[in-house]
Amino acid sequence: MTKDKSLIKIALSFGKKLAVLRKKKGLSQDKLGQLVGVSQRVVAYYESETNYPPTHLLIPLAKALHISVDELLGLKETDIPQENHASLWRKLKKAEKLSHKDRKALVDYLNLLITRNEIKK
């Protein structure tokens, strides 16, 4: 296990795991609900109120999150960033839709920040 990642398998309830995976994919509860055919309230319930997966939704949830059912259940390791920067992931997902010129400018700026941070160390 690397220092900058923790494995989802470690002590997360099904609901917490579902929330982390959903956020990692940049999906709102409402959007995930639409993808699997349930309401936002149902997704919120599964994320906060249950430790047990809804068996009838395992396959639709796994497909919507682009992972296997084994990963969703924690039977197979799934890498998740240790710190949950969900807003950063959502913004990067939106950045994919920028023009080529703007994406290049964003990548150049990120490279500058990363290089500056590495020099400080």
Q: Which domain holds residue 20?
A: 1-83
Whether 13 and 31 share a structural domain = yes
Q: What is the CATH number of the domain that holds 62?
A: 1.10.260.40
The pLDDT tens digits for 14-45 are 888 899 889 888 899 999 999 999 999 999 99
Q: Measure the CA–CA gap between 111 and 24, rounded to whole angstroms.
A: 22
Counting the structural domains of the chain, the total is 2
Question: To which residue do tokens 């319930």 refer?
Answer: 45
Residues 69-83 pLDDT 10s: 988 887 887 665 444
Name the pTM for this structure: 0.58
3-state secondary structure of 61: helix
Give Cβ neighbours of residue 88 (< 8 Å, ≥ 6 apart): none
Structure tokens at 86: 């969900």
Q: What are phi and psi of 23, to 5 degrees?
A: -65, -40
